[in-house]
Structure 1
Amino acid sequence: MVPPVARAFVFGIAVAVLVTDASAVDKYPDKYDNINLSDILSNERLFKRYLGCLLADNDRSCNSEGKELRKYIPEALTNNCAKCTEKQKNGAERVIRFLHDQKPADFQKLLAKWDPQGVYRRQYEDRVST
């Protein structure tokens, strides 16, 4: 099973295509909720573009969505995606499962980058089986 903290983290990748800026109503904008995640996850070039953005030390290699995403990852981790729409939560879950099952090495790199002490993984261990 994928730890919920990993779900929250991978929210970041999903958000790269779902979110461009914070909403005044405490939800992330739904502008990209209908993006086809299958296209991104099945296209190695697109996938690597987003992955590279998230793993980089700065946002110079990121497109505009990636730059915004990098701003939201810390908040999404700490609040367990509380500002996500349902579609964003579902998209995050889908991306997490994809990474965990299909790209485990990339998944571990992302966790090491965004949760190096395992704080969020430990915080959500009781939900691992959900």
Structure 2
Amino acid sequence: MVSIPMVLVLFSVLLHRAAAQSANDPARSALQRLETIDVDKILGNNRILTNYIRCFLNEGACSPEARDFKRLIPKLASTACGDCTENQRSIVKKIFMHMINNRPDDWRMLQQTYDPEGRNVKTIEEFLTS
């Protein structure tokens, strides 16, 4: 029979291990946090979205959520969200499509900032049409 203290020790070890994995992989942790952000609220509020974009372009302060997403942008662009879950892929597609359709000038500036040589344009286009 397993004692309660033994279960607590095992739970503690598992929790510590999960925390260590998140700390060792900030991109994975940031991707998980992406699912907790109210993306529709951000995309639907021009002032908030502009603040995010200014953060991404190094032109303004970053909220913790914007800073997390900013760290992801290079990886998202180069891997076309290859490490994302289906839900995360859907969220990233929604964001990218909103930017392309509603803020094309900002989208171009983001591309120039994060992919100045255009290496990932085709990868992103394929991701968005998949």
**After TM superposition, is the score higher than 0.5?**
yes
2-side partners of 1:129 and 1:87: how far apart?
A: 16
* Structure 1 or 2: more helix by fraction: 2
Partner of 1:38, secondary structure, is helix
Matched, 1:54 2:56: yes
Which residue identity does 1:97 align to in structure 2?
M
| 1:82–1:52 distance in 2 versus 1, CA, 3 Å | same
Contact 1:27 1:84 in 2 (8 A): no
Contact 1:50 1:62 in 2 (8 A): yes
For structure 1, the residue ranges without an aligned partner over 5 or more in a row are 1-21
Deviations 1:21-75 (A, max 9, x none): x846897242441432211111111101100000116xx6111222233332222
TM-score using structure 2 length? 0.66
- Aligned sequence identity (%): 23
What is the total number of aligned residue pairs between the two structures?
Answer: 107
Which residue identity does 2:78 align to in structure 1?
T
Contact 2:80 2:124 in 1 (8 A): no
Between Structure 1 and Structure 2, whose CA radius of gyration is higher? 2
| 1:82–1:44 distance in 2 versus 1, CA, 3 Å | same
TM-score using structure 1 length? 0.66
Partner of 2:28, secondary structure, is coil
CA RMSD of aligned residues (A): 2.8
| 1:34–1:62 distance in 2 versus 1, CA, 3 Å | closer
Partner of 1:119, secondary structure, is coil
